Structure formats: C-alpha cells, structure tokens
A and B are shown apart, each in its own frame.
Chain A
Amino acid sequence: MLKFEVVIVGAGPAGLAAAYTLAKAGVEVAVFERGDHPGAKNLMGGVLYRQPTEEVLPGFYREAPLERPVVEQRLWILTEDDALTLGYRSRAFAGEPYNAFTVFRSRFDRWFGQKVVEAGALLITETVVEDLLWENGRVVGVRTGRPQGDVRAEAVILAEGVNSLLTQKAGLKKGGLQTHELAVAVKEVLALPKEKIEDRFGLEEGQGCTIELLGEATLGMMGVGFIYTNKDTLSVGVGVLLSHLVRRRLNPNDVLEHLKNHPSVRKFLAGAQPKEYLAHLIPEGGFRSIPKLYGPGLLVAGDAAMLVNGIHREGSNLALISGKLAAETLLEVRTRGGYHEKNLSRYREKLEKSFVLQDLRKYQNTSLFFNENPQFFTLYPRLLSLAAREFLTVDSVPKREKQRKIWQIITSHRSRWKLAQDLFRLWRVLG
C-alpha cells in the first residue's frame, strides 16, 4: 500500500499552506484534490490579503497570477431607490507592500499548487478521498475513490472546505451543518474591457476596488452583495444566510438578479458580458459552530473547521494561517512522541493565540444576533437613507427643524428605548 507521513485532503488555501509548510521542512506529504487542478472548484469573490498570504508564501505577489491590487473599499447601503455610500481609498494600498488583491482562485490556487509541488509535496488531482482509515481508535490513512486507492499516513489534515463530509464522519462536528451556519453565495463573472472598468469605478490603470452592498442588496436578508473589479471582468454576487433564504423561500439567483437591476448598480454593469456563473457555500456560523479541531492522528483546517469571519469577509486568510499552524503543530510533535491526540491539541492552542480564534471569539455572538435582529438589514438601511435624503434635500426648511423631523421619522419606526437597546447590543457584539 502507498504510504506517506502526512496526507492532506483538499488543495484549497488551507491544504496547500499546510502542504507547503510540511514539504519545505522535508516531510513526505501528499495532497489529494477532487478537482482537476487546485482551485478548479473554487469561486471565491475574491479578495486575497497580502500579509497572511506572505506568512506562507513570502513575496508571492511578484509572480502569482493576481487581478488588481485593491486601493479602495466601498460600502453601499441600499434601499429600493437610494444608496448611502461610504468608502476608504489609500495610495498606500496601491504599491508595495500592498494590502489586498482581487484574484481568481482557480488561477491562484493552481499556481500555489505548482509551488507546493516544487517544494517537494505530491499533489494528486481528480481524486476524491472517500473515507478515513482507522486502526485501534486512531486515523492511519485515507481511502480514495481510485482503484488500489488506500493510502497509509501517520497523520491526516482535513482541509476539505465547507462541505466537510469527512470531518463530520470522524465525529468532530456533532449534529452536522445547520442552515443558520451556512450562507449561499452566487457569483457571476462579467466581462468588461479594462478601460471601461477603470472609467466607471474611477480607478487608475491596473488598480482595483471592492464594493460591499447591504440592505436591499440582499432583500433585507442577512448577507451581503459584492462587486469586485478584476483585470477585464467584474465579479458580482450575493451571499445570504441559508436559513433566511429558506424562510423567505427565495432563490439566491433571484436575489442576485434583483441586485444587478438596482438603479445604483445597473449602470456599473451595463454592457458587461456574462462569462461564468457559480454557486458555493460559506460557513458563517462563526466561533460557536467550530468543530473539534483535532483527533487521534487528525487535524482540521480552513472552511472545514468553519474558520470564516463573515463580518470582515475573511476566509482565505484564516484558511492559510490555520493550514500553516496545523503543519507547524505536526512538525513540533513529530519529534516529541508523535501524532497522538493529546499532542495534537497544541493546534487549538496555536489558533487561540493567533488572530484566527481571537477574532472569531470576538464576534461569536454576531450570527445569532443578526439572525434574531433582522432590523439591521431591513429597517435601519431604510431609516438611514430617509435621514440622508431629508438632510440633503434643499427646501428652505431650517436645519434644526430638519433634524427634528428626521428624529421623528426614526422614532416613529422604532421606539427610543428599542433604538438604544439595538445600539447597545450592536456595540456589544461587534465592539
């Protein structure tokens, strides 16, 4: 039977970061990926963050296939007719060392896969890992779907992404995945010439921006719409909590169509030709939905471990860092008595010390909070835009009176007491 020291399931950022770290340290490691190349199955929006990526791949941006450096992030709060917009642009983001890039994961992951192979790991694509092999209560390898497909390993890292069948099968995620822990994201890639993109979004040549859209963008459901600028395409999509879609009996595709036709969005997309359409899940359950992260001979990283910070649209960076920390845990314990469960619990400690679990802990109540307080996606965007409209309409009404009127509008929709409560709670879960 084939044998490796470490087997990794999944060649997304988590699995590749783990493989790269292990291979560089001389460990015999094999990565199994079901797609025909790394990233083939991925559709991340996608913004890739420079600093965490460099933790694994120093200087990657000099050779990796990237779309545009993100120099501006915008937030649009939509109602049916209006858009309240907010943004931050910095010249510091336009040059080295950069902050973030838009990417196509199918290209980036493929490149990353090559780096992993150059580092000495074996990357086996078009091969599904169907099961873990157990002996005497510990994991001793994996079973792939290929003829003669069993492989022995001393340790296995599950980096299988959000649809974490093996993690669940191993009993690490009790109760399976729930609809309130998952968002459905749909995304379209629309082709538009470079110059048009730069013109419409007010960008200098080669630079990029991101727009996140709230409120009416998701028909008031918990979630977010997005528009990202690539080289000669736009990525446009929405991500909405699955439980909300189910409750409202809506199809995510209709939500996206609705967003694309919003009066403030439409003109940015006019004439762009659809190139591809994709749908995917995002784990949005946060801290409370994190499975047990280790077992005997077993570690879980990335989306499989539900390590996504939905509030900040961060996922790939948590995947990269958790993959790296999983690998470093293995490197530490391999000389100290091996890959048994107690030793592997150090992985959790490492994650606790890093931003990964600190951030997720900080926001641990947000999913539940927004799930139970839909007014933040429905009422408040409307109130905000009513207030803005009132304030900006020049009609010879004295400003003081305008302010009074705005306050009246607001309190007629939500009592002062409730407002105070909402603000206080929002501060508590986000602050």
Chain B
Amino acid sequence: MHFVVCVKQVPDTTEVRVDPVTKTLVREGVPSIINPYDAHAVEEAVRLKERYGGKVTAISMGPPQAEEVLRRALAIGADRAILLTDRTFAGSDTLATSYILAQAIRRLDREEPVTLVLCGKQAIDGDTGQVGPGIATRLGFTPLTYVLAVEEIDIEAGEIKVQRKLEDARQVVCGKLPALLTVVKEINELRYAALPDLVRAARTRPERWTAADLEVDPGRTGLKGSPTSVRRIFAPPQRPGGEMIPGGTEDPARAASLLVDKLLKTKLIADL
C-alpha cells in the first residue's frame, strides 16, 4: 500500500502575538513547527504501514525552510519526503494549494498507485480545513474528515472503514479506496522516535519538486490562482468583565434587590 501524507509548516501559534498598534499578527521571529494535526497524520500513516505493509511518502508545499517539517515526518518513520517549492507557489490560498498538492499526488500515483492520502483536520494558522477535502475532490478520492480511528483497510474489497468524530458521537463509515483522510489528534499518540530514525532524518535532504516537475498550470497557482483575499486579521474584542454586586454577606436582601434592579434594566427579566 502507498500512503501519502501532506504536512504543513506553521508558525508556533503559542508564540504569535497581535501587534497592539496595527492589530496584525506579529510573525517575525516566531518559530515554525509542523502543524500538530499533520504530525498525527504521519504517525497514523506509519502505523498503517506497520500494520499492512507498504510505503509512506510525506509531501509539503512551502518555502525551502519547510524542509524541517519533512525531516520531522522522516523521523516519525516516513520513507520518502518531497518538498514542493517554487517562487510561483507563494501566496497560494486553499484552492491553489490543493491543486498543487493534487498534482504532486497524481505524479506519485503514476510511480506507485496511492492507496490513501492523510492530512491533518486543519492547519492551526489558517484554520480553514479546506485543503484536504479540496485534494480529494480534485483526485476523485473518497473524502473522510475528522477521522478518529482507522478500523480496517480491505484492499481486496477496495474499502476502508473509519470512525469519524462528531460533536457528541462517533460515526463509523465505510468508503471506497483510494480515500483521503483528515485526522484529529485523538487518532493516536505520537511515538518517541528511535535514535537511528532521528539520525536518518537529520541526514536526509528532502527531494524538491518545482512547478515544472508538477506540470501545473501557472494561472492556477500562487497569487494568480488564488481568489481568496484576507481583508483583515484581528484579535477578537475582549469580553467586558462582569460586575460584582457588593455587600452580599452583610446585607443579602439589599444585594439581591440591587441585582434585580440591574437585571430589570437590562430587560433580561421583566417585572410583571
């Protein structure tokens, strides 16, 4: 089986601040990490390989520095890592990104048929959750989102059975292969990689594929291929603090009537 995992390099949002003056995100000097959900996607792919045999290929679209997250994927146990990088890819929105990733998966599929594509449920910087389903649609793969567990892959029947995480329930679904999963964190625990794997990852330079290698239509990548434009990013307004009504212990009756007066004014309750 051939498992392909899409990983993204994201700013460590625990370190991102909002500039108090311009109200935009301060990204300068903020370290990059592997999108946490994607790390679980890699882990799941490696576990499936260990269960069913096969091969794991990790791909990432991004600037040259995104190599780091591919090394991370290699350390978890991916067999091969490819960076999709080209100046013309810069500024791609979810539409263009899913197009580029889908082109790369097409090429991989020609080399060795792809059984399953795994993505994180969303990236923590954009939080759209659109790229995974976008790839599935372009490739005609079965999209299975918010996957919490892979119960079974039946290669003979060409089927996969997974559990999906719903608001307050789990849903068991069967889908046709090839499929694309987007996974949630609860799907697995990240392993503590063995030292030889870490050393191999640190020594490997991921392959690089450019626009030419992917046969992409330049009108559909980068800024040109991206109809989305971000108007404004802002920190949500702070919720106003609550109001304390004093004197509850000394004179509860008075405090209670004060409270009632306030509530009446807000029209939350009515005096009938």
Contact = CB atoms under 8 A, between A and B. Distances in A.
Interface of A: 2, 30, 37, 65, 104, 107, 110, 117, 122-124, 127, 144, 146-149, 151, 191, 193, 275
B199 A122 contact: yes
Interface stretch (B37-45, B55-63, B107-115, B187-195): B187-195
A193 B196 CA distance: 46
Contacts of B193: 146-147
Contacts, number: 40
Interface residues of B, number: 14
A144 B202 contact: no
A148 B196 contact: yes
Contact of B31 (A2, A110, A151, A193): A110
B20 A193 contact: yes
B20 A146 contact: no
Given A123-B202, A193-B20, A2 B195 contact: yes
B29 A146 contact: no
Contacts of B195: 2, 124, 127, 144, 146-149, 151
A35 B194 CA distance: 17
29 contacts: A2-B195, A2-B196, A2-B199, A30-B199, A37-B31, A65-B29, A104-B29, A117-B202, A122-B199, A122-B202, A122-B203, A123-B202, A124-B195, A124-B198, A124-B202, A144-B195, A146-B192, A146-B195, A146-B198, A147-B193, A147-B194, A147-B195, A148-B194, A148-B195, A149-B194, A149-B195, A151-B195, A191-B17, A193-B21
A30 B198 CA distance: 12
Interface of B: 17, 20-21, 29, 31, 192-196, 198-199, 202-203
A147 B195 CA distance: 6
Contacts of B203: 122
A127 B195 CA distance: 8
A114 to B, nearest CB: 9
Contacts of A110: 31
Nearest to B200: A2
Given A117-B202, A122-B199, 18 more contacts: A2-B195, A2-B196, A2-B199, A37-B31, A65-B29, A107-B29, A110-B31, A122-B202, A122-B203, A124-B198, A144-B195, A146-B192, A146-B198, A147-B195, A148-B194, A148-B195, A148-B196, A149-B194
